[in-house]
Structure 1
Amino acid sequence: MESVKTIRAVERAFEVLQALQHTPQGATLVELQAATGLSGPTLLRLLKTLIGAKAVRRSTTDQRYRTSVQLHALGRGLSPVERLADLAAPWLDSLCRQVEWPSDLAVHTGDEDFMRVLESSLRQSRFYVRRAPGRVRVNLLGSAAGRAYLAALQDERRDGLIQAARAGDDIHNTKIAHTEDLATRLQQVRERGYALRHPLYRGGSFEAKPRDDALQAMAVPVVHAGWVFGALNINWNRKAMTEREAVRRHLVALQAAAAGIAAAAAQQELHEELFRCGQAERCDWRT
């Protein structure tokens, strides 16, 4: 796909829409020129096209340009979790450019005993990691993402999910749930601010036999103002670097990306919609 050229006019149109999105009070032509760097004639042609497509309107009261109700309606047609994926994608791309290893945004729904990969930079990474692409199910108690998410939850909710995982069919969850160190290790996650895989978890698909995938992962919860939306991780081959090296090199970038995703979701007021869908929870995480 790298050899396929982009359409510059479409890119410029999105630059205009993004500029208008950041000016809910509307923008004049001069203000849009300053925000986008586009020339007056180019900007006028783009605005005329966008108005014709009913993506932009020009107010008859103050002559300012604004995004249209129809454009916003298209966004509202997406489910809350798909909107979260859309907001997260640029952050995952940016994180992958910084650390090179792939990352996943994993989310949890209701009382499920697994996380689900919602968005991933697996295909963008120049490094190969042994994992199936797509929205795979991820172990809750053993994976870094699952442990980061659990550590962020309020005690009663976390205990309930652990009990549900203990009673489930996933062999990974069952094995880890019966260890005596799970509560201690989750407390360690809260103290240090990130999660690694549980030592007993070396990979393997949900509800499938264990297999060593040669990977390690580090994850942080995606939290904002008392809400947790999921967890963001970095995956790497264990032989490539130690856990300590990964923390030293990449933890700050991982935390920044997670904070950016959470802030973007909160700005769109997604937390309440995700909560109603069982895809966001109240949390006690301290950033």
Structure 2
Amino acid sequence: MEEKKAHESVRAVERALEILLAFRPGDKSLTVAELLTRVNLSRPTLYRLLNTLEQAGFLASSGEPQRFHLGSSVAQLAHVWLSDQRIAELAQPVLQGLRDATSETVALFVPDGTYRLCVAELESNQPLSFRRGVGYREKLVRGASGRSILSQMNLSTEELRGYLVEPGQDLSALVSDMERIRAEGFGTSHHELIEGAVAVAAPFFNGANQVAGSLCIFGPSVRVDEPRVAQFGALLNAATAELSRLLGKKNF
């Protein structure tokens, strides 16, 4: 019974997405009759899903006959997506400068709830290198790029628990690492997510002086020794200051 309910719930989501994706460039609004020509749904099912989508703000309707258009929730998602794309576009010269200076893979991450999301990456040209790829998503508490963001979010101890991979995880090591990142301006991780990889990352900020993401340099431990970690940290501090400036951050 539970499995059947779960399947029905997934199917309902698929049908709702089918309705949203039925809207094409140039469609200001669509009637139920027009939607029925684009989705493989019965009229009662379509009406039920249209009502649900309207209540959630993904659609809005007006007129007689009733016409549906995309709602404010779609605009909110578009704003989030476009904001990430704008950051990635602005960061390209900064990322290029970091890769030229280090010859290692560099990436840009933005927060995504309790996760971080890679929205830009320039891969090292060296034979031995690491990459994650645009779209890679990982918990903020894991890795230098995630903890660099987390360190600037001013979370209480209880709020921080909601970011843990495991509810019973000891917070002391995480809190200590976040304090170190705030003191030095960058964080590091060794062999944490990829065996043999070292990552160095630093946070950047938007015009409201809120953390907007992190820049990360990562490469194999045979090349990224402690002197290079210090060098990468200094480069990242300069790069994140420049990117923060481009995003409107003021120096107080």
TM range (shorter): 0.5 to 0.7
**Matched residues in 1 for 2:169 and 2:183: separation?**
21
Q: How much is the aligned-residue C-alpha RMSD, in angstroms?
A: 2.9
**Matched residues in 2 for 1:176 and 1:92: separation?**
37
Is the contact between residue 101 and residue 126 of structure 1 (CA under 8 Å) also seen in structure 2? Answer: yes
Instruction: Return the offset for 1:232.
Output: 0.7
Structure 1 residues 185, 230: closer, same or farther in 2, change over 3 A?
same
1:101-250 to 2 correspondences below 5 Å: 101-109=104-112, 112-122=113-123, 125-126=125-126, 128-156=128-156, 160=159, 162-166=160-164, 173-174=165-166, 177-197=169-189, 202-203=192-193, 212-223=194-205, 226-242=209-225, 244-250=226-232
Is the contact between residue 101 and residue 127 of structure 1 (CA under 8 Å) also seen in structure 2? Answer: no
* Structure 1 residue ranges (4+ consecutive) displaced by more than 6 angstroms after TM superposition: none
SS in 2 for 1:79: helix
Q: Which letter maps to 1:163? A: R
Structure 1 residues 87, 159: closer, same or farther in 2, change over 3 A?
farther
1:259 matched residue in structure 2: 241
Question: What are structure 2's unaligned runs of at least 5 residues?
Answer: 1-78
Is the contact between residue 106 and residue 117 of structure 1 (CA under 8 Å) also seen in structure 2? Answer: yes
Structure 1 residues 127, 217: closer, same or farther in 2, change over 3 A?
farther
Is the contact between residue 139 and residue 163 of structure 2 (CA under 8 Å) also seen in structure 1? Answer: no
**Matched residues in 2 for 1:191 and 1:127: separation?**
34
**Matched residues in 2 for 1:120 and 1:127: separation?**
17
SS in 1 for 2:129: coil
1:87 matched residue in structure 2: 90
**Matched residues in 2 for 1:241 and 1:175: separation?**
33
Q: Which letter maps to 2:209? A: G
- Alpha-carbon deviations, 1:26-82, whole Å to 9, x = none? xxxxxxxxxxxxxxxxxxxxxxxxxxxxxxxxxxxxxxxxxxxxxxxxxx9x81111
Structure 1 residues 222, 249: closer, same or farther in 2, change over 3 A?
same
2:55 matched residue in structure 1: none
Superposition TM-score, scaled by structure 1 size: 0.53
Instruction: Return the offset for 1:91.
Output: 1.0
More strand by share: 2
**Matched residues in 1 for 2:105 and 2:167: separation?**
27
Instruction: Return the offset for 1:190.
Output: 1.1
Is the contact between residue 222 and residue 230 of structure 1 (CA under 8 Å) also seen in structure 2? Answer: yes
Structure 1 residues 87, 195: closer, same or farther in 2, change over 3 A?
same
**Matched residues in 1 for 2:127 and 2:151: separation?**
29
**Matched residues in 1 for 2:111 and 2:241: separation?**
18
Is the contact between residue 149 and residue 231 of structure 1 (CA under 8 Å) also seen in structure 2? Answer: yes
Relative contact order (C-alpha < 8 Å, sep 6+): which is higher? 1
Instruction: Return the offset for 1:266.
Output: 1.4
Structure 1 residues 151, 222: closer, same or farther in 2, change over 3 A?
same
Is the contact between residue 141 and residue 177 of structure 1 (CA under 8 Å) also seen in structure 2? Answer: no
Alignment length, in residue pairs?
172
Question: What are structure 1's unaligned runs of at least 5 residues?
Answer: 1-75, 167-172, 204-211, 270-285
Instruction: Return the offset for 1:159.
Output: 5.1
